[in-house]
């Protein structure tokens, strides 16, 4: 008796992330390309990295560093990271048991979330926030608890953070310097967080990818500086942001040994390890601290160049204390909401930006958009010439 096969059919997936669609960065970058606009939306440089870094990659490949490295990363790079943290922030991490190299900061964050968050656990995010945080928590089965930063200033509201803490709170994700607002937390704010969490068992995932971009004489207040935070924190940073190689996707996590052990259990099975020749190149390149020590001055000059041009428009500049972003209030330029304004700006003025509402779960619109100034000076001047119409 013959069997009659039904037509081929793709089973229904049943999405784990029903709220996730095409990101605003993809939408605006595509529109910028379509309209030949200057793309100040997505956050990546349009200039090259130091040729010495490329030479170091070539040398590493020629030396045969092309096979799997150790799961947590090559010792030389982990040691270089530990030495940097000790020199800058005064905390000693064991390169062997407390530093892990990751496939970029985004992988580092989801790995930390998966390592500690169980179904039903609550995780506090401070909005506006980077777009990977919420899906990461949801993939781990956690419950997202959204706490707004203060509108306009984007400073933490500790009364609201304290009110959001519950017996089910497992972690809080903190980001300073902050994307998208460019706000930098102060020492007093970090100490207030330290004191708030002291009687709890809440973990901290501290996203510090813009640690070397802090302006006007301020300093980056890493969670590593504060014993009560360092003891409960996964500290995340990015070589891609620091060395202008975002496409390399290499970052790291520093955490106490017991947290690192759990982190590495997940890391081993979601990425295993990280590009070998890039690790060797970064290890040799970090022997000279000047590239990251000089980065704040490099980007502050670009910030000031861009801000000087924007000051000739009706856009109102908000403070940019760190990162390579500049936020502006559009209220005096247009009655449009943020998303519609960004579409209009790209099509009619020829400059792409990102609406801050994209960083809020409820699409909160405060008439603020974000530009990226990690661009060549000529790119920024070209954008300024177009924005002068405003």
CA-closest candidate to residue 76, choices 276, 230, 273, 231: 276
Residue with tokens 């709890």: 200
In the chain, at which residue ranges do the beta strands (DSSP E only) sit? 38-39, 99-102, 122-127, 143-148, 169-175, 203-207, 233-238, 251-254, 316-317, 325-329, 351-352, 354-355, 368-372
Report the chain (390 residues): mean pLDDT per 10 consecutive residues.
78 91 88 96 94 98 98 98 98 98 98 98 98 97 98 97 98 98 98 98 98 98 98 98 97 98 98 97 98 98 98 97 98 96 97 97 97 98 96
Instruction: Write out the two tokens for 146.
Output: 């959204």
Compute the distance between CA of residue 269 and CA of residue 113 in angstroms, rounded to an integer: 14
Compute the distance between CA of residue 90 and CA of residue 77 in angstroms, rounded to an integer: 19
What pLDDT does 42 receive? 86
Q: What does the domain layout of the chain look like in residue ranges?
A: 24-46+294-387, 51-288
Tens of pLDDT, residues 334-379: 999 999 999 999 999 999 999 999 999 999 999 999 999 999 999 9
Q: Tell me the percentage of the chain whose pLDDT exceeds 90.
A: 95
Sequence-distant (≥ 6) Cβ neighbours of residue 244 within 8 angstroms: 45, 47, 48, 49, 50, 374
pTM here is: 0.96
What pLDDT does 249 receive? 97
Compute the distance between CA of residue 131 and CA of residue 121 in angstroms, rounded to an integer: 20
Are the C-beta atoms of 227 and 56 separated by less than 8 Å?
no
Compute the distance between CA of residue 205 and CA of residue 230 in angstroms, rounded to an integer: 10
What pLDDT does 2 receive? 63
Tell me, which fold does domain 51-288 have in CATH?
A: 3.40.640
What pLDDT does 1 receive? 58
Report DSSP state, residue 71.
Answer: T
Compute the distance between CA of residue 123 and CA of residue 278 in angstroms, rounded to an integer: 33
Report DSSP state, residue 16.
Answer: S
What pLDDT does 6 receive? 80
What pLDDT does 21 receive? 84
What pLDDT does 25 receive? 87
What pLDDT does 149 receive? 98
Using DSSP, how many helices (H) and how many strands (E) does the chain show? 15, 13
Compute the distance between CA of residue 95 and CA of residue 76 in angstroms, rounded to an integer: 9
SS3 7: coil
Domain made up of 24-46+294-387: CATH architecture: Alpha-Beta Complex (3.90)
Are the C-beta atoms of 326 and 320 separated by less than 8 Å?
yes
Tens of pLDDT, residues 227-271: 999 999 999 999 999 999 999 999 999 999 999 999 999 999 999
Compute the distance between CA of residue 116 and CA of residue 141 in angstroms, rounded to an integer: 11
Instruction: Write out the two tokens for 129.
Output: 């926030």
Compute the distance between CA of residue 343 and CA of residue 354 in angstroms, rounded to an integer: 9
Q: For residue 325, list its beta bridge partners.
A: 372
């Amino acid at each position: 008796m013959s069997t009659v096969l039904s037509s081929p059919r793709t089973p229904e997936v049943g999405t784990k992330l029903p709220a996730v669609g095409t990101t605003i960065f993809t939408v605006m970058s595509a529109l910028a390309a379509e309209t030949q606009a200057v793309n100040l939306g997505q956050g990546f440089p349009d200039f090259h990295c130091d040729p010495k870094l490329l030479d170091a990659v070539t040398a590493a490949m020629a030396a045969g560093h092309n096979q799997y490295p150790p799961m947590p990363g090559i010792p030389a790079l982990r040691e270089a990271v530990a030495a940097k943290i000790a020199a800058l922030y005064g905390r000693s991490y064991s390169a062997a048991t407390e530093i892990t190299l990751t496939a970029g900061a985004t992988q580092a964050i989801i790995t930390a979330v998966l390592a500690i968050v169980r179904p039903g656990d609550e995780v506090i995010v401070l909005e506006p926030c980077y777009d990977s945080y919420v899906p990461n928590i949801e993939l781990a089965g956690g419950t997202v608890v959204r706490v707004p930063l203060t509108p306009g200033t984007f400073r933490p509201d500790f009364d609201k953070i304290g009110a959001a803490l519950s017996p089910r709170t497992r972690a809080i994700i903190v980001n300073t310097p902050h994307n998208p607002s460019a706000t930098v937390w102060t020492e007093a704010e970090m100490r207030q967080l330290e004191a708030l969490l002291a009687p709890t068992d809440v973990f901290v995932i501290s996203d510090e990818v813009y640690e070397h971009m802090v302006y006007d004489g301020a300093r980056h207040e890493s969670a590593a500086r504060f014993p009560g935070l360092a003891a409960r924190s996964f500290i995340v940073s990015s070589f891609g942001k620091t060395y202008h190689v975002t496409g390399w996707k290499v970052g790291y996590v520093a955490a106490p040994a017991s947290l690192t052990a759990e982190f590495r259990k997940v890391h081993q099975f979601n990425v295993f390890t990280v590009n070998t020749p890039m690790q060797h190149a970064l290890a040799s390149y970090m022997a000279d601290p000047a590239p990251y020590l000089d980065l704040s001055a490099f980007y502050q000059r670009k910030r000031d160049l861009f801000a000087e041009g924007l000051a000739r428009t009706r856009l109102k500049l908000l403070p940019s204390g760190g990162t390579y972003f500049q936020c502006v209030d559009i209220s005096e330029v247009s009655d449009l909401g943020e998303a519609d304004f960004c579409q209009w700006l790209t099509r009619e003025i020829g400059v792409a930006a990102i609406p801050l509402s994209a960083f809020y779960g409820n699409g909160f619109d405060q008439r603020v958009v974000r530009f990226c100034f990690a661009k060549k000076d000529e790119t920024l001047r070209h954008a300024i010439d177009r924005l002068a119409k405003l």
